[in-house]
Chains A and B, each alone.
Chain A
């Protein structure tokens, strides 16, 4: 697995799309640090970009890499290597290069500006960690989706729909449910519903770290009230880990049974 991962990372680190992605975050973070005097505003703006864009780019990267390397995967399948090592190695390679882009794209401006002004580095680190978690989750989901669909168009369509569902539709359904059942106690429902969406969960995690009550929203406030900020973050991290592990189990199971 390590060997396949190593060469996938080398391949992707030479891709111009990796540099474009990294460069985008570098320029955006740099400009925000330069133009804004309020660090919390910078972090909120970056958070909104990370929460939408990172899952989208990770989804596209995961699905594109799988389909583009399908013939190469067939060559690897004919070598004396376990099937799971091939696909987990490729997934980890994608996840690593995406994580590297985010860490460098946001981390480098942070390093530069923290040396010349007073920034709360912990909050930004939380943003980077959340971005990495979202990369790992959405590239795993899209890689699994691509494995499930032989047809490239269907696989691409399904992956984009999953992103759209978590980024937009889920929240809409959540709000409709909240207003529809507003006469009932909804704490538990809201808590579980936010656990069911890794993007919402990431938002809560960042807001809990920032500790800005005005931005917490209903679910953030619930997390804070029921578990306290630290325990709430711990639970959120554990659930995000589960969001990585579940699609990975899917990748292992599908790759063992699939005909190539």
Chain B
């Protein structure tokens, strides 16, 4: 199982304060959707966990160990980037071998190649693949190491409906294996379908944390997108005694 703990995380780019004291704790298995409008800080938060962005202050612990000046902790993370751009002249099989070679870990690539029916593309150059096939290769490289933590940026982008359904089922299976899965997406249906936990970041702070269904109940709507919109605009109904509000008060968050 993978745990992530974030303590008082701050990051600014020049005069732009992007993260303003984020505290988060992911203890149990599950799928957490990290949402927020553009420039809210969600990408920076994800990149900080991955070590791509160096925080100004605060700490991140992966399975209990501090990630500062440490790179080996990333063995426990599988990352699916949003833009699947790989070296264009490499073949699919070479890319997968490269990732295997780089990580030097137990790997289950054949399963994922079968799962996405990638065999006909293994000897094709990545430049010649369609967007959807490239995304399947992208998912394969992220999932094939069986990492306890998965960070997925827009995982279903470019997938056809059949692959999307298969992939969602697979995500549930991975969750049941005890994995910690963080997903960022703009597709609200996906969040409703898969997320057990929702984190909404606004202006560099955690604005809401709770279950997607609780969020809808809090804002007296059955439409998840409307609930999000109401939360952002502040046009809320009566929610003072709602469990999510209590949750947020407990964790010093604003709702």
Interfacial residues, chain A to chain B (CB-CB below 8 A): 3-4, 7-8, 10-12, 14-15, 68-69, 71-72, 74-83, 257, 259-260
Contacts and interface: CB of A to CB of B under 8 A. Distances in A.
Contacts of A80: 71-75, 102-103
Interface residues on B, range: 20 to 34
21 contacts: A3-B98, A3-B102, A4-B102, A10-B89, A10-B94, A11-B87, A69-B85, A69-B87, A71-B81, A71-B84, A72-B86, A74-B81, A75-B86, A76-B102, A78-B51, A78-B151, A79-B103, A80-B71, A80-B72, A83-B71, A260-B52
Contacts of B99: 79
A259 B79 contact: no
A257 B89 CA distance: 30
Interface string B66-82: 00000111110101010
A220 B141 CA distance: 55
Q: Sort A-B residue pairs by CB-CB distance and give the 3 closest, nearest first.
A: A14-B89, A78-B79, A11-B87
A90 to B, nearest CB: 10
A193 to B, nearest CB: 38
A78 B74 contact: yes
A21 B86 CA distance: 23
Nearest to B85: A71
B246 interface: no
B90 to A, nearest CB: 5
B125 to A, nearest CB: 8
**Contact residues of B: prevailing secondary structure:** mixed
Given A69-B87, A78-B52, A7 B98 contact: yes
Given A83-B71, A259-B13, A75 B79 contact: yes
B83 interface: yes
Given A260-B47, A260-B52, 15 more contacts: A7-B87, A7-B90, A11-B87, A14-B89, A71-B84, A71-B85, A72-B86, A75-B81, A77-B52, A79-B74, A79-B102, A80-B72, A80-B103, A83-B71, A259-B52
B101 interface: yes
Nearest to A256: B54
A12 B77 CA distance: 29
